[in-house]
Amino acid sequence: MRTLGLLGGMSWESTATYYQLLNRYAREALGGRHSAKMVIWSFDFAPIADLQAAGRWPEAGALLADAARKLEDAGAEAIVICANTMHLLADEVQAAVTSPVIHVADATARQLQGAGVKRPLMLATRFTMEKPFYLERLAMHGIEAIVPSERDRTRLHDIIFDELVQGRLETRSRLAVSDIAREAVAMRGVDGIILGCTEFGLLVGPADFDAPVFDTTEIHARAAMDFALGLT
């Protein structure tokens, strides 16, 4: 089994889910007492979030690149950025290491294609919904992802940063996310829902939506374990 290097702590709430999923997938594949081989660099998220909010992406990229090099030095054979938004810096991370960066958008696109979904709704941070790095990567795979209205993008972003990354799971927010998606299904021809923030799976699940749901945390962790097991 190959060793995975996780860039985590962004937030630790979802990094804990990655850890659980990777170990679960390893056990499912290999049985018995098997678990995943991994090394984790867990950031203090507050300074990273401040850099995001200030638009200081080069500084954030330098931090992730340095951490990726340390993971590789510790034996990592692939890098997993445990946050959708921070894939904005995937190229900077890849340039810093020789090991592959397993990209969440590529893994998600493959799942969408396999399900025949071509026009999914992206639910994520404002950065992921509004900057081109993710939507254009999906488009390269023939996926025309759409985003909610400005008002709804603000609501989603606030739920993530003011609640989910702080461990707060509010019923009113679960209902708000569900309502945003249901309106898009009914009015905008959406045929799938991308949970494009690694924390959203903590709040909502398939039962909250009227269309197929694609949880990027689960998809990304599965793609990483496939690599670790030599399946890709």
pLDDT category, 24, cuts 50, 70, 90? very high
Whether residues 152 and 142 fall in one domain:
yes
For residue 135, the surrounding DSSP H or E stretch is helix 132-140
Note the pLDDT tens digit of each residue in 69-112: 999 999 999 999 999 999 999 999 999 999 999 999 999 999 99
Whether residues 113 and 210 fall in one domain:
yes
Whether residues 180 and 119 fall in one domain:
yes
DSSP output for 26-93: HHHHH-TT----EEEEE--HHHHHHHHHTT-HHHHHHHHHHHHHHHHHTT-SEEEES-SGGGGGHHHH
Total structural domains in the chain? 2
Which of helix, strand or coil describes residue 168?
coil
Whether residues 27 and 121 fall in one domain:
no
Prediction pTM value: 0.96
Whether residues 124 and 180 fall in one domain:
yes
Structural domain including 157 reads 105-215
**Which tokens is 120 given?**
């999914």
In the chain, the percentage of residues whose pLDDT exceeds 90 is: 98
Whether residues 109 and 87 fall in one domain:
no
Whether residues 137 and 82 fall in one domain:
no
Note the pLDDT tens digit of each residue in 113-172: 999 999 999 999 999 999 999 999 999 999 999 999 999 999 999 999 999 999 999 999
Whether residues 91 and 164 fall in one domain:
no
Whether residues 136 and 224 fall in one domain:
no
Whether residues 167 and 81 fall in one domain:
no
Residue 27 vs residues 12, 39, 140, 218: alpha-carbon distances, Å: 23, 18, 33, 15
Whether residues 211 and 140 fall in one domain:
yes
* CATH code of the domain covering residue 190: 3.40.50.1860
Whether residues 85 and 134 fall in one domain:
no
